[in-house]
Amino acid sequence: MEFPVEKLISAAVEAREKAYAPYSNYRVGAAILTRQGRYYTGCNIENASYGLTCCAERVALYKAVSAGEHDFEAIAVTAATADFCVPCGACRQTLAEFGTELKVYMVNARGDYLVKTLDELLPCVFDRERLLSGTAGMVDP
Ligand code: THU
CB under 6 Å to ligand 1: residues?
21, 24, 26, 28, 44, 46, 53, 55-57, 77, 85, 87-88, 91
Mean pLDDT by 10 residues, the chain (141 residues): 95 98 98 98 98 98 98 97 97 98 98 98 96 80 65
57 is catalytic: yes
pLDDT value, residue 11: 98
How far is ligand 1, taken at its centre, from the CA of residue 99, in Å?
22
- Count of CA atoms in the C-beta half-sphere (13 A) of 37: 4
pLDDT value, residue 141: 65
Superfamily (CATH) of domain 5-133: Cytidine Deaminase, domain 2 (3.40.140.10)
How far is ligand 1, taken at its centre, from the CA of residue 141, in Å?
41
Check if the beta carbon of residue 88 is closer than 8 Å to that of residue 79: no
pLDDT value, residue 139: 77
Report DSSP state, residue 125. -
Q: Which one is catalytic: 14, 46, 57, 69?
A: 57
- Domain spans in the chain, listed from the N-terminal domain onward: 5-133
What's the rounded Cα separation, in Å, for the pair 42 and 62? 9
pLDDT value, residue 104: 98
